[in-house]
Amino acid sequence: MDLSHWIARHAEFTPDKPALHFEGDSLSYRELHRRIGGAATLLATKHGVGPGDRAAFLGAHVPDPFVLLFSAARVGPLVLPLNWRPAAAGPSHIARE
């Protein structure tokens, strides 16, 4: 059993209940479960991703990182979400002695 099992259980018992809300829209547990399954299949078959590999997500703040996180739980890679808007260069956020 992996982390994606949690979504599968919700999709089984409350398929139409909103799982995610984003910009005035929502994604049901059924649709989230479907997307996770599709992404897991793509990761494993098309891209050859498996346990011990690394998968990164670089993108805007959208529901897709959640899909990647749960699909990676099925397939086995380590997930690294990347921020597409990195902090400005410079030491302004680093404490100095």
Given the DSSP bridges, would you call strands 25-28 and 78-83 parallel, antiparallel or unpaired? unpaired
Cα–Cα nearest to 31, from 60, 4, 14, 11 = 11
* Number of neighbours of residue 82 by Cβ within 10 angstroms: 10
Are the beta carbons of 24 and 35 closer than 8 angstroms? no
| Span 5-54, pLDDT tens digits | 889 999 999 999 999 998 888 999 999 999 999 999 999 999 999 999 99
pTM of the model: 0.78
- What's the pLDDT score for residue 86? 64
Query: Is 11 buried (19+), middle (13-18) or exposed (0-12) by CB count in 10 A?
Result: buried
| Span 54-72, pLDDT tens digits | 988 887 767 888 888 899 9
Q: What is the DSSP string of 28-43?
A: EHHHHHHHHHHHHHII
For residues 5 and 2, give the distance between their C-alpha atoms in angstroms, rounded to a whole number: 6
